[in-house]
Structure 1
């Protein structure tokens, strides 16, 4: 009886184990089949082959990756393209989407790390960067799988200034593709970009104009903005190779409509018969997906920042154009209708007499002498004049508010340029908090000027000669401060 019971239990356990094993096997096979079908959706044959390379430029070793298609004949000679960085550090990882798209289209592509020696926020040389690009192009043209007569450049943003110079320098550049390139100098381009960033942050009114005009002129003259006045038009006017110039319709960093017009005029002046100007719908500055030019939709994440997906239309336009050029069928010149552009870019100076450097800096020196000199001289002679200056308090108020307004305005605008407008946001009535405080200081200085002048006039008989001189200089500084504040838009809404 006991043995029969044990036999039944053992038999039941055996049947249960077999069922579990069959069930596990079915699940494993299903999972394997699912993973195989997913892998089959993106064939391995479609992935470009990557090769690490290095090359020399001005004594510096630059490193990059060559992306080449997998399925080509061993003796095939393919077109090649070098990717030219936009502004910033420029690691090659940011350009993998473009590199893979070109490689899959049968175009051997070089993406390399931008130099850090000789390139920084305060230092850059487009001529040096152009030489780096040409060194990379020479490396690409020397490959057995590249047709040296069909190797060109692709350039993003700042790379447009670099690549056009490289193309003008060397006959080895067979074609040029740009995305988000500017037709203006870097300073004007950056001020337009800052204006858009401020508008996006709900900042409006006079402050945006202060950034675009007197602020930009100040930055230009400090030398803190490298290559500020670089003019790309003379380079464009030398380009006779096929050019494809693209802009995203939502570009907020480079004025797309104005830049397209500059490119078209310059290339026509060059007699270029193969200049194509196009706009990428649903794309931002880089040609990648965006809803408004400020966000990035999908795509890779590099250094914690999304790049935005590279849209199929953008990829198709570039690759089909390069393939046509390489096949000897470069499209004839054409230009798409220019889309609407929210704001028009401005040159920092209108050429007015009061914008001359001598006038502006002389005014600044007089203001600093008047506002800062009064408290300094009062401190030096405080014992001899103690209790004999009824104008002391309004004069001190004028000195402090005037000095804060002048120094604060210049410092704040420099900070806006240095940070690219990051952190600026409307506080009240479209004004940032620092700008609002500077405007309050400005109006306080005007009231203090009137109070100081009135008190000085009433008490002029009680004042010593030295006090009269100091107050006269201070009041003159207050009067001179009025046109200065108007020029810097501090008295405008």
Structure 2
């Protein structure tokens, strides 16, 4: 049935009016379509339901002072640059040492996190604080020829950093039996490997250490960042589907690296340090796991400290907490007495709402290459349709020009029935536009989360806008379906000819695939 004022395929004006019945059917059909997509989105992948942490670690004292540590002296500091020979490469390292201190000195080799890599920009405050207290500090450059976003081998990286340990152990004035490690962030997956394999390492400092496997830490961090940003609850479904999915193009084998076996082989004194303002790390669970793992190996020389409002890297307002630097120097200088001195766990009371846990693997879209291929193929189908139609029209017009030049009448070529092509374009453009808007929303929220910012207009309003666009695409698809049905009921053909049939089905199939992908990422969820 055609609406009033429209023409049937024969060119006759139709005066039939759907009225309220047609509007009601459209609303009902849209609701049904959204519900179907919501159910499909729910069954296609895992939900996100993190387990609350119900057994909080309790500090013994609000003071972070290290038991048994003596007052920290102050020395002038001199620096020098040395070259470290690795297997197939070399790196430079800066050594900071106290001036005027005689006798064998303790040493510390720094192990970089993911965001650092050079001695002239990383660990400047920490190395100077240790050196001025009488400890020789060595910051090597990170080896980068074997380190990429996609490929990292923490066991091999441990071997590379161990070469720096050997250099510092052989440095004049350093006691080779008193050289330890300072590992931050990602370095927390490397230092335990070094300590387990090299018993000459005297102690280990783990600062902002993830402890859990990288994939679990990533999911925990994303969840924490999103909660701080104030995103709607429906956005959290994307966490296991993104983090649990294999990354397009391969790589990231290190995402499931488990440091537990190495921590159980750490027999050196360990200092575990977190800031209570670090949203990216499981600050309670991490310390508990280190305590548990070292205890399995019979090592009880573990000291845990929490610094109030310090974020990743124990920074407050962009600067490394000076109290932490004093405690660090005191703990290192006081070993072995400080290794098991009370209080064992001290500082500000940490808070961790949820556990970092294994990430559910997506059932349908677990392969990132498949997801990308589906989206690219769907967009290709939608875009190639209009191109094919333009080419077909070009051929038809060229044919008609030749006929007119020969004095023959132009042929009446096949055409979409009135109203079909606009609705098809609205469906395809709307589907692509919704995907683009979803990607924009994810990027915008990620930037806010990483900067610890909130913006309700972007976070709440953006999510509503993306979902409204998704519903509008469903409406466009239903209007196209209803229009084709009316043309057929009137005895016409909504998409005559092979080319136009292919164009319509390409647009419809591509749009449906994108709607399914959007449903997978939670655009249509209704609390299901």
- TM-score scaled by length of structure 2: 0.69
- 1:477/1:81 CA distance change after superposition, 3 Å: same
Please, which runs of 5 or more residues in structure 1 have no aligned partner? 1-43, 291-295, 297-306
Match of residue 187, structure 2, among 153, 159, 171: 159
2:247 maps to 220
Q: 1:178 is paired with a residue of what secondary structure?
A: strand
- Asked if 1:99 is matched to 2:134, the reply is no
Is the 2:269–2:339 Cα contact (8 Å) retained in structure 1?
no
Q: CA 1:363–1:121 in structure 2 vs 1: closer, same or farther (change >3 Å)?
A: closer
Instruction: Tell me how far apart the structure 1 counterparts of residues 298 and 514 of structure 2 sit (CA, whole Å).
Output: 52
Counterpart position of 1:350 = 360
493, 497, 500: which one pairs with 1:462?
A: 493
**SS of the residue 2:256 aligns to:** coil
1:47 counterpart (67, 76, 81): 76
Would the alpha carbon gap of residues 456 and 170 (structure 1) be closer, same or farther in structure 2, given more than 3 Å must change? Answer: farther
- Once residues 424 and 492 of structure 1 are traced to their aligned partners in structure 2, the CA distance between those partners, rounded to angstroms, is 26
**3-state DSSP class of the match of 1:431?**
helix
Matches within 5 A, 1:13-52: 46-52=75-81
Which of 463, 485, 490 is 2:518 aligned to? 485
Q: Which residues of 2 match residues 318-467 of structure 1 at below 5 A?
A: 318-326=328-336, 330-331=340-341, 334-335=344-345, 339-341=350-352, 345=356, 349-357=359-367, 360=371, 364=375, 367-368=378-379, 371-372=382-383, 374-382=385-393, 383=396, 384-388=413-417, 390-406=419-435, 409=438, 413=442, 421=450, 426=455, 428=457, 430-431=459-460, 433=462, 438-460=466-488, 461-463=492-494, 464=496, 466=498, 467=500
1:139 equivalent to 2:167? Answer yes
Q: Relative to structure 1, is the Cα distance of residues 141 and 423 closer, same or farther in structure 2, using a 3 angstrom cutoff?
A: closer
Between 418-427 and 56-65, the greater mean CA deviation after superposition: 418-427
Higher mean C-alpha displacement, 105-114 vs 446-455: 105-114
Q: Distance in 2 between matches of 1:426 and 1:387?
A: 46
**1:273/1:333 contact within 8 Å kept:** no
Distance 1:417 1:189, change over 3 A: farther
* Counterpart in the other structure of 1:17: none
Cα distance, 1:247 vs. partner? 0.8
Establish whether residue 57 from structure 1 lines up as the match of residue 68 from structure 2. Answer: no
C-alpha distance after superposition, 1:393-416 (max 9, x if no partner) = 111111111123335545764797
Q: CA deviation digits over 1:342-401, x for unaligned, max 9? A: 565565x52353343398568647744654454354445445532446421111111111
> Residues 122 and 429 of structure 1: is their aligned pair in 2 closer, same or farther, counting only changes over 3 Å?
closer
482 and 270 in structure 1: CA distance in 2 versus 1, 3 angstrom threshold:
farther
SS, match of residue 457 in structure 2: coil
Once the two structures are superposed, the pairs formed by residues 102-113 of structure 1 within 5 Å of their partners are 102-113=130-141
Tell me the residue number matched to 2:217. Answer: 189
Say if 1:190 and 1:120 are closer, same or farther in 2 by CA, change over 3 A.
same
Q: What does residue 52 of structure 2 align with?
A: none
Of residues 375-384 and 58-67 in structure 1, the stretch that sits farther from structure 2 once superposed is 375-384
Instruction: Output one character per residue of 1:247-298: Cα deviation in whole Å (capped at 9) or x when no partner.
Output: 111112323123223333333344433233332234221123x2xxxxx2xx
- The 1-side partners of 2:480 and 2:450 are apart by 37
Q: In 2, are the aligned partners of 1:187 and 1:225 still within 8 Å (CA)?
A: no
The TM-score with structure 1 as length reference comes to 0.73
CA distance in 2, matches of 1:165, 1:359: 35
CA-CA distance at 1:488 after TM superposition: 0.8
Question: Structure 2: any 5+ residue segments left out of the alignment?
Answer: 1-72, 397-412
Preserved contact between residue 257 and residue 338 of structure 1 (Cα < 8 Å): no
| Structure 2 contact 275–306 (Cα < 8 Å) conserved | yes
Question: Aligned in 2, Cα 1:338/1:146: closer, same or farther, shift over 3 Å?
Answer: same
Secondary structure of 2:328's counterpart equals helix
> Deviation of residue 425 (structure 1)?
6.1
Cα 1:477–1:127 change in 2 (3 A) is same
